[in-house]
Structure 1
Amino acid sequence: MAATLPSPAPESAVVLMDDNVFALVPAHHYAGIKGNCLVIPRSHYENVLDIPDSLGAEFFRATRRLAQAMRAAFGCEGISTRQHNGAAGNQDVWHYHLHVFPRYTNDGLHAGPKAPYSAEERIELASILRSALR
């Protein structure tokens, strides 16, 4: 089990922190579906081909915790995860990360545009999710 770490600052977009991974509300949302997060390793790994097996359980635990928090906080009907590797796989950030999305029936996630969050939106959504994690 992960050691108890300090909680993210209230003015932060960080939602959770564990020994080797953390999660945050990213700079963008998709198709107007707000509350998405990224699960990210604290150490650098370029993609899924580089990340060690030993981090798998921590990624799964963080993803499951976020999914539970999203359902509690946003009342979403489902959760989707997405991860890209290599240029042909649409990877555009060269540090491994896993997207976690709250989902709703016919929400248009895959067809909708990417749009930026304001800093205030990111902080507010992170605060809501942190509260739902408790």
Structure 2
Amino acid sequence: MVPTHHYAGIRGNCLVIPRRHYENVFDIPDDLGNGFFRATRRLAQAMRSAFGCEGISTRQHNGPAGDQDVWHYHLHVFPRYPNDRLHAGPKTPYTAAERIAAAARLRAALR
């Protein structure tokens, strides 16, 4: 899923989300781990192909002290570029056209 916002102008960030509800990493059953990792790796490879990024970052938050603010487990996957300042930039809304374009590029790379 392409979120409704991006950070520091880095477009193409995605979320990997299990179909069933799990509040955070403490609730996920062990047998979900391999499939979730495979999906994350497949998405990372598609990002590299679709966006020409040089790296990938993942981020996941658990519990209030861990900055969790959405109470359903999800993993952020970011395409990364040299000196992109991912963590220094603000959240910026995507336009509908930007989301559609990013999703189309990823979909093509996933095929």
SS at match of 1:41: coil
Paired amino acid for 1:129: L
2:45 paired with 1:45: no
RMSD between aligned residues: 0.7
TM-score by length of 2: 0.97
* Aligned residues with identical type, % of pairs: 81
Which residue of structure 1 aligns with residue 78 of structure 2? Answer: 101
2: distance between equivalents of 1:79 and 1:94?
24
After TM superposition, list the pairs within 5 Å mapping 1:14-93 onto structure 2. Answer: 24-93=1-70
By relative contact order (CA 8 Å, sep 6+), the higher-ranking structure is 2
Task: Identify the structure with the greater strand proportion.
Answer: 1
2: distance between equivalents of 1:92 and 1:29?
16
2: distance between equivalents of 1:55 and 1:118?
33
Select 1:125's aligned residue among 85, 102, 111. Answer: 102
Q: Which runs of 5+ in 2 are unaligned?
A: none
Q: Which runs of 5+ in 1 are unaligned?
A: 1-23
Superposition deviation, residue 58 in structure 1: 1.1
Provide Cα deviations, 1:42-88, integer angstroms capped at 9, x if missing partner: 01000000011111111111111111111111110000000000111
Superposition deviation, residue 118 in structure 1: 1.6
Q: Deviating runs (4+, > 2 A) in structure 1?
A: none
Paired amino acid for 2:4: A
2: distance between equivalents of 1:61 and 1:46?
21
Provide Cα deviations, 1:80-119, integer angstroms capped at 9, x if missing partner: 0000001111111000000000000110001111111122
Superposition deviation, residue 120 in structure 1: 2.1
1: distance between equivalents of 2:64 and 2:94?
25
2: distance between equivalents of 1:42 and 1:131?
22
